[in-house]
């Protein structure tokens, strides 16, 4: 009887030791491969005077709300009239051709700040990457932004599609660039800027049917007056061109 008790105690100690080893092994593996849900505070770079707001956002658990506010600021910043362009006078043909470009030195920094606050803000990532790569002619910054977002959403096909479009653009393949945007614009939450860019690229590549469908979708569904007016204008031009054939 005493012998059986000793054997039982040894088994219990053995199982306890084994459990501890397994627990420590799993804990070490999790610690080694741990990825925080949000970027830690030491990875958030303050943009100019944003430090106080960033601290408030972290302390109150309102990262997403503050990311929304910064996204509004980004669109306002990008929506300011460019040098030499008056909102009260018609643009020259050269100004119209270059509109959307210009110099916005803080665009990437603000976009980066938004992603550091909320790396799951897909609309902000797509909007910023499209602007940087195709309007501001800074594809290297667009790629950096997308790669940062992919660290938290590694299987996000929208980001991978945008990276492919940028790759095709660098290879000077307009048809591939245009076609790579088509899956994006079918999504209900696709930013209107991305839709307009897709329409422009399809038109440039000679895919007029696709371009017409996209402009029509913008005209019928967008709430942004500028994009709606531009879409209607483009539709009218394409219809006139089709009648003249």
Spatial contact of 124 and 157, defined as CB atoms under 8 Å apart: no
pLDDT of residue 235: 93
- Counting the structural domains of the chain, the total is 2
> In terms of domains, do 121 and 183 share one?
no
Rounded CA-CA distance 193/181 in Å is 12
Out of 172, 203, 222, pick the residue that ends a domain.
Answer: 172
- In the chain, alpha helices (H): 2-32, 51-59, 63-78, 93-98, 107-117, 122-130, 139-150, 157-170, 174-185, 192-204, 208-221, 225-243
Residue 133 lies in a domain: yes
Q: Do residues 157 and 87 both lie within one domain?
A: yes
Per-residue pLDDT at 16: 64
> Residue 30 above 90 pLDDT?
no
Q: Which two tokens stand for residue 3?
A: 């012998």
Tens of pLDDT along 75-106? 999 988 655 443 333 334 444 444 455 788 99
Residue 154 CA to residue 158 CA, distance in Å, equals 11
216 assigned to some structural domain: yes
Query: Is 137 in the same domain as 99?
Result: yes
Question: Nearest CA to 145 among 128, 160, 157?
Answer: 128
Is the pLDDT confidence value at 55 over 60?
Answer: yes
Q: Determine the average pLDDT of the residues in 109-128.
A: 94
The pLDDT tens digits for 136-177 are 999 999 999 999 999 999 989 999 999 989 988 887 788 888
CB 196 within 8 A of CB 219: no
* 134 shares a domain with 238: no
Q: What are phi and psi of 62, to 5 degrees?
A: -120, 40
Query: What is the overall mean pLDDT for the chain?
Result: 80
Rounded to an integer, the average pLDDT of 178-196 is 88
147 and 204 together in one domain: no
pLDDT(3) > 90: no
Dihedral of CA atoms 169, 172, 174, 175 in degrees, nearest 10, equals -100
Same domain, 63 and 143: yes
Tokens read off for 105: 């030195």
Q: Hunting for tokens 């860019």 — which residue is that? A: 197
Is 195 within a domain?
yes
Report if residue 66 sits inside a domain. Answer: yes
| CA-closest candidate to residue 36, choices 152, 156, 153 | 152
**Is the pLDDT reported for residue 37 higher than 80?**
no
Please tell me the predicted confidence (pLDDT) of residue 111: 96
- For the question of whether the overall pTM of this predicted structure is more than 0.75, the answer is no
Helix H, strand E, coil C: the string for 42-107 is HHCCCCCCCHHHHHHHHHCCCHHHHHHHHHHHHHHHHCCCCCCCCCCCCCCHHHHHHCCCCCCCCH
Total count of residues recorded for the chain = 245
Q: Domain check: are 86 and 201 in the same one?
A: no
- Average pLDDT (213-232) is 92
Checking if the pLDDT of 239 tops 70, the result is: yes
The answer as to whether 126 is a domain residue is yes
Q: Which two tokens stand for residue 200?
A: 């422009």
Same domain for 136 and 98: yes
Res 127: pLDDT: 95
Q: Same domain for 185 and 162?
A: no
Please give the pLDDT value at position 83.
Answer: 52
| Whether residue 154 sits in one domain with residue 47 | yes
Whether 216 has a pLDDT exceeding 90, the answer reads yes
Same domain, 148 and 182: no
Is residue 34 scored above 90 in pLDDT?
no
pLDDT of residue 91: 38
Q: What is the mean pLDDT of residues 3-27?
A: 57
Kindly state whether residues 165 and 179 are assigned to the same domain: no
Quote the domain boundaries for residue 231: 175-245
The pLDDT of residue 89: 38
User: What mean pLDDT is predicted for residues 22-39?
Assistant: 52
Q: In the chain, what percentage of residues exceed pLDDT 90?
A: 41
């Amino acid at each position: 009887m005493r012998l059986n008790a000793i054997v039982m105690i040894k088994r219990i100690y053995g199982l306890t030791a084994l459990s501890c080893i397994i627990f420590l092994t799993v804990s070490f593996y999790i610690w080694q491969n741990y990825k925080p849900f949000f970027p830690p505070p030491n990875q958030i770079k303050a943009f100019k005077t944003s430090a106080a707001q960033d601290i408030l956002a972290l302390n109150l658990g309102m990262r997403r709300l503050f990311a929304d506010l910064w996204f509004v600021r980004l669109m306002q910043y990008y929506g300011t009239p460019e040098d030499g362009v008056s909102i009260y006078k018609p643009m020259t043909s050269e100004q119209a051709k270059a509109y959307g470009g210009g110099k916005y030195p803080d665009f990437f920094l603000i976009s980066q700040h938004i992603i550091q606050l909320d790396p799951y803000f897909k609309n902000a990532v797509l909007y910023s990457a499209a602007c940087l790569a195709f309007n501001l002619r800074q594809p290297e910054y667009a790629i950096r932004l997308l790669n940062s977002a992919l660290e938290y959403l590694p299987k996000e096909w929208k980001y991978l599609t945008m990276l492919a479009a940028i790759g095709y653009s660098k290879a000077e393949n307009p048809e591939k660039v245009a076609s790579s945007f088509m899956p994006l614009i079918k999504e209900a939450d696709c930013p209107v800027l991305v839709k307009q860019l897709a329409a422009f690229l399809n038109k440039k590549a000679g895919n007029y049917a696709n371009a017409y469908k996209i402009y029509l979708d913008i005209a019928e569904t967008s709430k942004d007056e500028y994009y709606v007016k531009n879409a209607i204008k483009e539709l009218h031009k394409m219809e006139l061109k089709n009648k003249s054939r």
